[in-house]
Amino acid sequence: MPSGLSSLLLPSKRQSGYRSAAALLDAAARLAARAGPGVLPGIRPDSPYPGTRPRKRAGPGADFWQFRPYQSGDRPQDIDWRRSARSDQVFIRQREWTGTRHVCLWCDPGAGMAFRSAGNLPEKRAAAQLFLAALAILAQKSGDIPVLLRPDAPPAKGRLDDLAAALLHLPIPGDAPARAMRSPLPETLPPGASLLAVASDFLFPPETFRDFLGRCARNGTHILALQILDPAEIRFPFRGRVVFEDSAATADAAAAPRIELARCEDSRAAYLARLAAHQSALEDACAAHDARLLRHATDTPPEDIMSALCHFTQGKA
């Protein structure tokens, strides 16, 4: 078996995706409508300030945090006279600091995300764009600021149509710069990133993912991982003689490593066992860093993952 699971699969030669930002946003809006309030981790649906996140410290906000004794320089209007009347001290009523969240989005720029095993299936990249655009809509409706992180370009934020256009114009495998090896995960995190949604196939070493989660945890960033796989990657349905090419391994397509299997069915059990071990390692990494992992197969309705997202985050905000 090759060192990377993705090297067993050949990305499609034809492009399959959304023709315009308007088409992407239209599909994403229909998908986002399936989600209920408070679907994004960390959002409190009952908060008087939509999109705010409690900071676990005193500061501007609406919710009670604690009482503390009055000090010189405190504002008289902050005195809680009812609490002060029960003692010989004057007390200040402090509120918990809340602030607007930045919900960051990342789409794996790897060539493997262009794979689809059949012409009637979407590319994994198109599914990732749909989910991230839907999350951007949900974030904006919650009062958050959606931010698209991009390789080799500053983050994109602002209007939803601008974000959708930026999603569609991320480097694709046909672009010369994108054919070189790229990191499947963002190399830097913007300060103050509250939540980062990562859409990828995650078919790279689990240690890379674990190290990334550790870096995010130290940054105070919550992670929502959306794993998108083609059904052929999940079931390995190939039979007979098949040549597999890893077009993501080199910038030169002609020099891409190839593996020829005379009887694919003889390798199916080993492939499925290795995939199961890989998936288990991803789950362990998420559990160790309190990250959330959701999975989607491109031959299933996209509404399924939104339903799973609603169920997974219900009561965990």
Give 41-95 pLDDT, tens digit per residue.
544 433 333 344 544 444 444 455 677 788 888 888 888 888 888 888 888 887 7
> For residue 129, is it within any domain?
yes
Residues 79 and 162 in one domain: no
Task: Write down the pLDDT at residue 313.
Answer: 47
For residue 253, pLDDT over 60 is answered with no
Handedness of CA 139, 171, 21, 33 (dihedral sign): negative
Of the ranges 49-63, 142-156, 225-239, which is most confident?
Answer: 225-239
Residues 69 and 214 in one domain: no
> What domain range includes position 80?
55-98
Bridge-based pairing of strands 145-150 and 153-157 is antiparallel
Residues 72 and 206 in one domain: no
Residue 315 binned pLDDT confidence (cut-offs 50, 70, 90): very low
Which pTM does this prediction carry?
Answer: 0.75
**Lowest-confidence pick of 85-89, 161-165, 287-291:** 85-89
How many structural domains comprise the chain? 2
Domain limit, last residue, from 98, 128, 159: 98
Q: How far apart are CA 183 and CA 216, in angstroms?
A: 16
Task: Identify the CA nearest to 134 among candidates 30, 18, 223, 51.
Answer: 30
Task: Write down the pLDDT at residue 120.
Answer: 92
For residue 270, pLDDT over 80 is answered with yes
Task: Write down the pLDDT at residue 88.
Answer: 85
Residues in the chain: 317
Percent of the chain with pLDDT over 90: 42
Q: How far apart are CA 108 and CA 239, in angstroms?
A: 29
In the β-sheet with 91-100, what is the strand arrangement from edge to edge?
Answer: 52-58, 91-100, 64-69
Q: How far apart are CA 146 and CA 133, in angstroms?
A: 9
Task: Write down the pLDDT at residue 138.
Answer: 87
> For residue 50, is it within any domain?
no
Residue 93: Cβ-neighbour burial (10 angstroms; 0-12, 13-18, 19+): middle
For residue 126, pLDDT over 80 is answered with yes
**Lowest-confidence pick of 109-113, 248-252, 259-263:** 248-252
> For residue 299, is it within any domain?
yes
Residues 90 and 129 in one domain: no
